[in-house]
Amino acid sequence: MLDIIKTIILGLVEGITEWLPISSTGHLKLTGNFLKFESPDITPGFYDMFDYVIQLGAILAVVVIFWNKLWPFTTKEKGYIKRKSVMVWSKVVVAAIPAVFAGIFLDDWVESFVGDGKTEATVISATLIIYGILFIIVELLNKNRKPKTISMKALSYWDAFLIGLFQVLAIIPGTSRSGATILGAIILGVSRTVAAEFSFFLAVPVIVGASLLKILKFGFGFTGMEFVVLAVGMVTAFIVSIFAIKFLLGYIKKKDFKVFGYYRIALGLLVLGCFWLV
């Protein structure tokens, strides 16, 4: 029962932090250091896979909320294909290309480089702080600048590809996939709303692919407890993600991302203190 409660907490963390530009992987790894599963039926290799696959629950929330924009088939248009949805998916595919190559060729290297314990905490702290500062700087520079791209239709394929390159930075724990893509999009002159939505859409193939890769590495021999923990985590992440996505979309219509920058800096300093001074 205690492991289920811990799983729900991790699901809450994932559902909130996956969409806010504050690093879900960083939060999960840090939270996981304090909420270790105790069941003997949970194998050591399960932890790393869990941090990624739980994100599938969060991804389902995107599909549900943006179903009309993402589902390409309809009976109301000639040819039964929605051109707007095809356009969105084609740009998502272009943007996902860099992440595919990064996942194949860099994932294992990054894991071995980052390591665990204090080294991992230091890397997460550094990326939290660095990107927190960048968010503040970019928002200050863009204070009186009007975005050149204010709709998904106006987003060029070249800009989509460049946003995909920014997303590759998220392979380093603590960076934040949504944070990297949103920050990159804003730098390219994309409005906050379009940047956030495109970041949501881009997460679908990237996270599904990364999760499947982790499952293949782990294998399909889940114990009963591992299956329950994974299912509970995904369901919790899905429910919380619904609220987190709607909150962010409403928030950015009136305010900028500087508050997330300050949060990242504060959290990064807190993590450094917890792992190096305690």
Question: What are the tens digits of pLDDT across the range 103-160?
Answer: 777 777 777 777 666 778 888 889 999 999 999 999 999 888 889 999 999 999 999 9
Look-up: residue for tokens 């996505």?
A: 245
Q: Which amino acid is at 192?
A: R
Phi-psi category of 231—alpha, beta or left, where left has phi over 0 and alpha has psi -120 to 50?
A: alpha
Structure tokens at 132: 């927190």
* pLDDT number for residue 253: 85
* pLDDT number for residue 237: 95
| Angle (nearest 5°) at CA 197 between 258 and 262 | 15
> How does 2-11 read in b/e, with b if 16+ C-beta sit within 10 Å?
ebeebbbebb
Q: Which residues pair with 81 in a beta bridge?
A: 73
Low-confidence ranges of the chain (pLDDT < 70): 1, 115-117, 276-278
Q: Classify 218 as helix, strand or coil.
A: helix
* pLDDT number for residue 112: 75
Structure tokens at 244: 């987190």
Tally of residues, the chain: 278
Those residues whose C-beta lies under 8 Å from the C-beta of residue 130, and which sit 6 or more positions away, are none
The C-alpha atoms of residue 261 and residue 136 are separated, in whole angstroms, by: 6
